C-alpha cells in the first residue's frame, strides 16, 4: 500500500470519527432537550372506587412547591416530588418519573379505607386496611362501615390506631369482610360502655352483641345459621338483641 492511499484512509477514518462524534453530540442534545419537562401528567387510582385525592390537588401542590417546567429533573428531584405528594394524608404511595416525551408523570396510590370512626371528641376519621388513620374530605365519603360508641382515640392522622377499642373493631371488621355477605350486611360497629362490640345490620332493627375480637369466624358461622335458619322464619325484626358472645350459644332478647 503506497503512502498516498494510506493518507487517504487516515483522512477518511478521521472524517468518519468526526461525523460519529458530531452525531453523538446531536443525539445527546436531542435526548437532553426531550428530557426537559414540558407537561405534568397525574394519574390517580380512581378505578378502586375512592376519590379522596384529585389530580388538580396534586398539580397545585407541585406547581406551588417546585419549578419543573423546562427543567431536567434528577433522581433526587423526583424523590423530593414523591415525598411532597405523600404529605397528603390520603396518599398511600406516589411514584414520579420522566419520559422521552417531556412528561413528568406522577402516579398516586390512595389509602383504602376499612372503616370510618366517630369518636367522643366530636372528630371523624378513616382507618385504612393497614390500621393507619387519615382525615375525611369534604368532596368524597367512602362506603365503609361506621364505628361509634365509647371511643376517645384522637384523629392524629397518618399514624396507626393504638387504643384497645379501635384495635378490637379493626380486627373484627377485617375478618368479617372476608365473608362478602356479612361485609355487605353490617353497616355499623359500636363499642358499648362495657367495651363490648355491637354490630348493627343494614336492615332490620336488631343489635348483634358480638363481644370481643376472639373466635370471630366461629361467631360469624353461628350468626349465619341463626339468621338464615331462624330469623328467616320468624321475621328479621322478631328479636331486639342477638347475643353470640358465648361459645356454641345464641341468646336472644325479644
Q: Delineate the domains of the chain, giving CATH numbers in brackets.
A: 39-110 (3.10.20.310), 113-253 (3.40.50.11690)
1 — pLDDT class (breaks 50, 70, 90)? low
- Cβ-contact 87, 70 below 8 angstroms: no
pLDDT at 13 over 70: no
- Cβ-contact 111, 136 below 8 angstroms: no
Cell of 80: 423530593
Cell of 135: 382525615
What is the Rg, in whole angstroms, of the alpha carbon atoms belonging to the chain? Answer: 30
Name beta bridge partners: 252.
Answer: 242
Sign of CA dihedral 214, 216, 221, 225: positive
% of the chain surpassing 70 pLDDT: 85
| Residue 193 DSSP class | T
Average pLDDT, the chain: 87
Sign of CA dihedral 173, 125, 113, 89: negative
Average pLDDT rounded to a whole number, residues 3-11: 59
**Which residue carries 366530636 as its cell?**
122
pLDDT at 17 over 50: yes
Torsion, CA 112, CA 53, CA 83, CA 113, rounded to 10: -10
6 — pLDDT class (breaks 50, 70, 90)? low
Distances from the Cα of 175 to the Cα of 25, 129, 167, 191, angstroms: 61, 12, 12, 17
Name beta bridge partners: 1.
Answer: none
Indicate left, alpha or beta for 68 from its phi (over 0: left) and psi (-120 to 50: alpha): alpha
> pTM for this structure?
0.82
- Cβ-contact 113, 127 below 8 angstroms: yes
What is the rounded CA–CA span in Å between residue 249 and residue 38?
Answer: 67
Cell of 122: 366530636
Amino acid at each position: 500500500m503506497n503512502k498516498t492511499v494510506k493518507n487517504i484512509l487516515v483522512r477518511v477514518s478521521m472524517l468518519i470519527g468526526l461525523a460519529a462524534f458530531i452525531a453523538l453530540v446531536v443525539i445527546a442534545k436531542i435526548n437532553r432537550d426531550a428530557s426537559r419537562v414540558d407537561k405534568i401528567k397525574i394519574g390517580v387510582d380512581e378505578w378502586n372506587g375512592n376519590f379522596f385525592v384529585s389530580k388538580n390537588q396534586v398539580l397545585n401542590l407541585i406547581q406551588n412547591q417546585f419549578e419543573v417546567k423546562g427543567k431536567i429533573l434528577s433522581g433526587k428531584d423526583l424523590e423530593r416530588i414523591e415525598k411532597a405528594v405523600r404529605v397528603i394524608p390520603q396518599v398511600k404511595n406516589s411514584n414520579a418519573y420522566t419520559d422521552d416525551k417531556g412528561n413528568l408523570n406522577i402516579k398516586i396510590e390512595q389509602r383504602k379505607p376499612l372503616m370510618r370512626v366517630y369518636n367522643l371528641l366530636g372528630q371523624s376519621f378513616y382507618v385504612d386496611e393497614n390500621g393507619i388513620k387519615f382525615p375525611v374530605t369534604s368532596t368524597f365519603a367512602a362506603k365503609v362501615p361506621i364505628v361509634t360508641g365509647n371511643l376517645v382515640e384522637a384523629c392524629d392522622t397518618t399514624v396507626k390506631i393504638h387504643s384497645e377499642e379501635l384495635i378490637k373493631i379493626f380486627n373484627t371488621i377485617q375478618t368479617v369482610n372476608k365473608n362478602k355477605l356479612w361485609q355487605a350486611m353490617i353497616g355499623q360497629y359500636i363499642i358499648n360502655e362495657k367495651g363490648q362490640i355491637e354490630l348493627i345490620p343494614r336492615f332490620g332493627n336488631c343489635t348483634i352483641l358480638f363481644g370481643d375480637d376472639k373466635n370471630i369466624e366461629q361467631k360469624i358461622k353461628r350468626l349465619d345459621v341463626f339468621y338464615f335458619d331462624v330469623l328467616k322464619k320468624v321475621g328479621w325484626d322478631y328479636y331486639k338483641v342477638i347475643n353470640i358472645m358465648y361459645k356454641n350459644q345464641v341468646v336472644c332478647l325479644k
